[in-house]
Each structure stands twice: as C-alpha cells, then as structure tokens.
Chain A
Amino acid sequence: MKPVIEVDRLVKRFGGFTAVDHISFEVAPGEIFGFLGANGAGKTTAMRMLCGLSKPTSGTGKVAGYDIASHPDEVKKRIGYMSQKFSLYGDLRVWENIRLFAGIYGVPQREIAPRTDALLSRLDFAAERNTLVRDLPLGWKQKLSFSVSVFHHPGIVFLDEPTGGVDPVTRRKFWELIYQAADEGITVFVTTHYMDEAEYCHRVSVMVDGRIEALDTPERLKQQFGATEMDEVFQQLARKAQRQEL
C-alpha cells in the first residue's frame, strides 16, 4: 500500500539554528506511529510542518498524497490535529464545539447532529452535552479534543503530546480511543515523552538534536539496544544529545 506520509530530507532552520535536520521516513495507512524525543529535539517543529502550520526550509514532505509546501490547504482537508495546548473554545458548549469543527471540515449538515449524539453516548458523555467546555475536567477535555479531531474521519490524525498532565488510568482510556480510531482506518501520528505510551505504538522514531536516530517497532528497538524497556532505549539515545533542553 502507498504510504500516507512520505518525508524526504526535511529541514527547518530558524536563523542559524537547525530545529529539524534532514529527517526522512514513511508512515503506512492505519499505522500508529510514535514520534519520540526529548524536549527541544524538534518533534513539535517537524509535526507543525507536516500539518501545514510551518513551511519547510528544504526537503519534501507528502501527507495524504499532497505536498506540504505547495498544497498545505489540500493537506489540511485530509487531517485532524490535536495540539499540546488544549485548544477548543472554552466559551462554547460541548456540542457547539463539535458542530463548529464538523462544519469547518465539511461534514454534511444533516449528519452532524446524529453523529454528535452517537459520539457522546459512546464516550458516556451525553450528560455533558450542554456544558461549557472550559468547565470540564482536563481528562475529559482531552478526550473531547481527540474526538473532535477525528470527527470528520480524516485519513490521518496528528496528536501533539495528547496526554500531558493526566493520570495513568485516564491515559490508558485515552489510548483505547486511539486504537478505536486506528481500527477505523485512521493513521495516527503521535508525539509523546511517556515511554509506556511508546510501547502502544506500531512503530516509533526517536529524535535527537533534530535528527531521527532510531526508527523501528518497539520490539526490535529493544533488541537492537539490548534493553528490556523502551525507556532504556530512549535514555541511551538521549545521552548523545548536544543541545541544551529548551
């Protein structure tokens, strides 16, 4: 099958600083792809380029078959995105947020309402339908935010550290949602620095100083580095880092 993300020698420089340094990789449809790295390693910058939020300095990237530099708007139509910072509208109700983004992504008008009901009941969330989003607890905000980002059935969803700041049980439940999405055929591209989450991914890449230093399934990476936990793999790679944490 043709890969949904193809990245070839992608570079992003800010002045003299090279945030992303010639990275290349491919992601297959339906895959859960983990994007690991210490803070400041360049993962968020790389992801922002793939989403069309930032223009590459050089190299090429294709997402869902479209070039990210020349056709960012075509890319945007085919992806979902959930940012590290919670970014639904706090002063809109739960259903209003869903309706807004569904509408923007072109979900047909008559489908929005039934699909919203289905989603809320699946999440066990029907009671909160009319709650202002800013009044929800963080764990719920994140689940809602994720559900909104896949509501329009995008080919790919980008998740930027989706589970920051919540407890392990909530994180576990969140990953169940990710698996559901993957089962429906959505490719998941996720950055994280929780190593237990890395184990849930089909394949992971580890970024150090703007470069991809390792890329394989968690199993094979552990073998390669003679480790029992992903955490050890990560520690070995991260020790090589020259950059100060930003």
Chain B
Amino acid sequence: MIRYLLEKEFRQIRRNRFLPRMILAFPLMVLLVFPGAASFEVRNIRLTVVDQDKSPNSRRLVDKAVSSGFFLLSRMSADYAQALDMVERDRADMILEIPRHFERDLVREQRASVRLSANGVNAVKAGVGSAYLTSILADYSRDFSHYGTSLAHVEVVPRFRFNPTLNYIVFMVPALMVMVLTMLCGFLPALNIVGEKEAGTMEQMNVTPVPRFLFIFSKLLPYWLMGFVVLTLCFGAAWLFYGLLPVGNLGVIYLFAALYVLTISGFGLVISNHSRTVQQAMFVMYFVVILLIIMSGLFTPVQSMPPWARALTMLNPLKYLMEVMRMVYLRGSGVADMVTHLTALAGFALFFNTWAVLSYRKTG
C-alpha cells in the first residue's frame, strides 16, 4: 500500500512546475546572497576627525588610527557641529575631536585629553569602535612616552582558534544551510495536507482503509529524501562558491540532518493538520519559523542572550543543528562531542512525528 502512496507523492512533486526549480534555486540563492549581507562584522568604522590642534602629533594620531585598518577616515570636519551633522546624515559612525593645545599638553604634562563620540544607534559598532580607538590611544601614549620601554608594559597577544583568518563566511555558511533546510522541508509539508483538504482529495483518502501512520509516513518520506538532496546541494555550493569543506566528517552532518529534517517536516505536517486553509498554514509556519531563526543563534550569539532566552533556545531544534553544523565544519567535532545534540534532535523528531500521526484525523 505504502508503495502506491509514495509513487503518488513523488509524481506530484515532479509534476509541480514550481517545486523542483525552487528546490534547486533556493539553496543556491541563499548561499550566494546571505553570507555577503548577513554579517554583524564590525570593520571599516567611519571616523570623522575634528582636529583643532593641527599639530604634527595630532596628525600622527589620526594616521595611526586610520592605518590600523579598522577605521575609515570619512572626512575631516571643521568643528563639532559639522561632525555631528555627518553622523546625523549617516556619513560617519564616530567622531574624534582633538582639542587645541593637544600637543603642548602632551609634551609638557605627559597628559592630554581627546573627545570621542560614537553613534549609539548601532550598539555593537559604538562599543567595539570606542574600545578599539581607546586602545589605539593607549598605544600612542606609550609610543610617545619619554620613559619608553622602562615603563611597566603588558604585551597582549590575541590568538584566534578554529578560524584564524576571522572569516565570517566560514561561520555563516554552515548555519545558513540549516535555514535552507528549515524553509524547504518545513514549509512544503505544511502546505501539503491542508492543500489536499482544500482540493477535496483528503476526504477521498479518508474513506480508504489507509492507516494514519502510513499516510503520514508517505507524506514525510519525500521531504526527508529532499532534505538530503538539498543538503548535498548546499555542501556543493559552499565548496564551489567559497571553497569551504568541513574539518570534520560529512557523514556526521548527514546523520544529524536526517533527524532534523524529520523533526521540521513532522512539525510542518502538524501545522498542516491543524489548519483549515493554505493561507492559515502559511502564516502560522511563517510566524514560527521567524521566531525559531531569531532564537537560534544564526545571526546573534546565544551567549549574548539573557538567561531566560537562553533557556528558551533549548527548545529550539534549529539551534542544535546549527551548532552541529558549525562544530563539524569549523572544529571537526565528532558524534561523541555532540551526544546532547543527538539526543535532543532524536527527541524532537519522535515528538513531532507522533503528534503529526495523532493529529491527523480520519473521522470528524
């Protein structure tokens, strides 16, 4: 019996004009566009300088800031008002104001002050930018100091593990694959059963002796296999576009993804069972998926969330697969390192698919 049901599902997918193209195009589009755009990476902070001292030292300080590679000098401003105007017009992110007698104070008293103003609308930029400029100032005063190396000095050496070139793409691409899987293997099942309800074919199925479990299984299997196709496409695209290959084992990813796709497709079927119209299913799914993505750590780190929000992310299947992807791609972790993730995903898969079977009612 199952064989005829599966034949039907596959034929329907193949005959759909839109679906196969979307399965191909969507992952490629996301992997091409998203990594370029979805980045909180702070660099090229646009700095405008109000130099009222115009001394060799003030100029050297500005040079030092700009040559750090972290700041872009957007323009010199004549006064603070003009600088502020640039910030208001979003032409600059930070203002460095060097007062008159800066050099004189520095030479005579070993001490001078400058004013930094950061545009706080983008909190991260303001925070990181001012921290960075502060450390450049500290560096500069040390260079300037008469005492040279005789002063107490701490040599700070940062080392970056797992991603020494600090490449943001390496970080984003594996996680974006999870988003692609979620969109395709979540939305399509969500539209499926409710679509049959709208078309009236659902009733025809309900008078047949097909058991609930088999029916749900026949709906699930095509999306599950589709998940593997999509994932493989993603791996290929990541390698082709970015030369990105996982440090760890691809098989490990397939294992976790197999559980994840079951989870998200099962969830889609649950939504579909509980909806009356395609539109409703789409909206509920849309709402939930956005929440899941926001709370997954895809764009913003989970560590930055307050404790209650961090606790909520434990219930988010997306979060687990995303961590798995990043761990395997970047750190080369194996199954043994991710037992929690495996258990959680298996639990989710079981939960949602049981729910999907139970919520499919053949009798009203």
Contact = CB atoms under 8 A, between A and B. Distances in A.
Direct A–B contact in complex, judged by CB atoms less than 8 Å apart = yes
A86 interface: yes
B8 A83 contact: no
A126 B57 CA distance: 94
A76 B209 contact: yes
Nearest to A152: B208
Contacts of B336: none
Contacts of A77: 209
B363 A53 contact: yes
Nearest to B15: A91
A103 B214 CA distance: 13
Nearest to A112: B4
Given A81-B204, A101-B208, A104-B5, A72 B363 contact: yes
Contacts of B11: 91-92, 96
B217 to A, nearest CB: 14
Contacts of B201: 87-89
A48 B200 CA distance: 14
Contacts of B207: 51-53, 76, 79, 81, 158
- Counting chain A residues whose Cβ lies within 8 A of the other chain, the interface size class is 20 to 34
B3 A53 contact: no
From A81, A102, A104, residue with most partner B Cβ within 10 Å: A104
A99 B6 CA distance: 12
B209 A88 contact: no
Interface in A75-128: 76-77, 79, 81, 83, 85-92, 96, 99-106
Contacts of A92: 8, 11-12, 15
Contacts of A86: 200
Interface string B180-210: 0000000000000000000111011011111
Q: Which of B12, B16, B208 is most buried by chain A, counting CB atoms within 10 A of its CB?
A: B208
A187 B99 CA distance: 101
A54 interface: yes
A153 interface: no
Contacts of B364: 48, 53-55
A196 interface: no
Nearest to B202: A87
Contacts of B363: 52-55, 72
A118 to B, nearest CB: 19
A55 B209 CA distance: 16
Contacts of A101: 208
Contact of B16 (A91, A99, A103): A91
Interface string B1-21: 101110110011001100000
A100 B12 contact: no
A73 interface: yes
B362 A72 contact: yes
Nearest to B3: A103
Contacts of B5: 100, 103-104
Contact of B1 (A52, A55, A103): A103
Interface centre among B204, B211, B364 (most CB of A within 10 A): B204
Contacts of B203: 53, 83, 85, 87
Contacts of A103: 1, 3-5, 7
Interface in A125-150: 132
A55 B12 CA distance: 31
A9 to B, nearest CB: 20
A104 B3 contact: no
B204 A91 contact: no
Nearest to B364: A54
Nearest to A101: B208
Contact of A83 (B16, B204, B211): B204
B109 to A, nearest CB: 84
Interface in A143-178: 158
Nearest to A73: B209
A76 B208 contact: yes
Interface string B296-313: 000000000000000000
A104 B201 CA distance: 14
Interface string A28-55: 0000000000000000000010011111
Contact of A96 (B8, B200, B208): B8
A133 to B, nearest CB: 10
Given A76-B207, A104-B1, A89 B200 contact: no
A77 B208 CA distance: 7
Given A54-B363, A104-B209, A87 B1 contact: no
A83 B200 contact: yes
A99 B4 CA distance: 7
Interface in B1-56: 1, 3-5, 7-8, 11-12, 15-16
Nearest 4 pairs between A and B by C-beta? A103-B4, A81-B207, A85-B200, A87-B204
Given A77-B209, A103-B1, 12 more contacts: A53-B362, A53-B363, A73-B209, A79-B207, A89-B12, A91-B12, A91-B16, A96-B8, A103-B7, A104-B5, A106-B1, A158-B207
20 contacts: A52-B362, A53-B203, A53-B207, A53-B362, A53-B363, A72-B362, A79-B207, A81-B207, A83-B203, A85-B200, A90-B199, A91-B11, A91-B15, A92-B8, A96-B7, A99-B7, A100-B7, A102-B4, A103-B4, A103-B5
Interface of A: 48, 51-55, 72-73, 76-77, 79, 81, 83, 85-92, 96, 99-106, 132, 158
